[in-house]
Amino acid sequence: MKRPRRNHFLDPKSAGLVNLATGGLHAAALTYDHKILTWEVNDLSALGRDTPWEATFREFNGEGDSGSGEIEPDLNPLESSPAAIPADKFPAATRFVQVAAGDSTTSVLTEAGLVHGWGTFRDSRGVFGFQYLKPNDEFIKVQPEPRLIQASRESFSSVLAMTFALRLTQRETCFPR
């Protein structure tokens, strides 16, 4: 895509958005009925849901009409259309209060203070991973769907960046990823 395009698949009023976060190439939103919508680029599982699709190509003149001779792939409708992450990816009756998006990662904070996340962290040298789990030394390079990443029920806020995450607790303590 050579220029920004309006996404006609998301009407903020009818969708009932209450929180919005943007990452490097994707976005996430929380709705009033506690759904998590994600859309745009799903490289490295940033959307937390499957988006398989094979692109077709068409001519593009820079204004959305064909005819210029430039060839541009059509948008993947499973990525460009905001869609909810299936509810069964989270514990039953989970209520969300915040979404956060980094470059290739997304997280959600629940009303209970739990943090779920997916995607991965990367820097200028490439992917360096999503999570290192102790004591079994399990390393998760890319997390394709939501996973509980913080079991403490004290989280108050969460922010993500390209290479790190921060979590603020109710006791005003800040923890890095």
Query: Does the residue 133 lie in any domain?
Result: yes
The answer to whether residues 126 and 47 touch, using CB atoms and an 8 Å cutoff, is no
Query: Does the residue 10 lie in any domain?
Result: no
Query: Does the residue 137 lie in any domain?
Result: yes
Phi–psi pair at 79, nearest 5 degrees: -100, -45
pLDDT of residue 176: 57
pLDDT of residue 71: 60
pLDDT of residue 72: 61
Query: Does the residue 4 lie in any domain?
Result: no
The answer to whether residues 154 and 171 touch, using CB atoms and an 8 Å cutoff, is yes
Query: Does the residue 74 lie in any domain?
Result: no
What's at 16, amino acid-wise?
G
| Residue 34: pLDDT band with limits 50, 70, 90 | very high
Q: With 90 as the cut, is the pLDDT of residue 70 above it? A: no
Indicate the number of domains in the chain: 1
Decide: helix, strand or coil at residue 10. coil
Q: With 60 as the cut, is the pLDDT of residue 163 above it? A: no
| Residue 136: pLDDT band with limits 50, 70, 90 | confident
Radius of gyration, alpha carbons of the chain: 18
Average pLDDT over residues 44-57: 87
CB atoms within 10 A of CB 117: 26
Decide: helix, strand or coil at residue 12. helix
Hunting for tokens 């869609």 — which residue is that?
A: 83
pTM, two decimal places: 0.79
The 10s digit of each residue's pLDDT in 99-120 is: 999 889 999 989 888 889 999 9
Q: In terms of residue numbers, what domain contains 19?
A: 15-48+86-176
What's at 70, amino acid-wise?
E
| Residue 59: pLDDT band with limits 50, 70, 90 | low
Query: Does the residue 159 lie in any domain?
Result: yes
Q: Which residue has the higher pLDDT, 174 or 108?
A: 108
Hunting for tokens 């204004």 — which residue is that?
A: 63
| Residue 26, both tokens | 């994707």
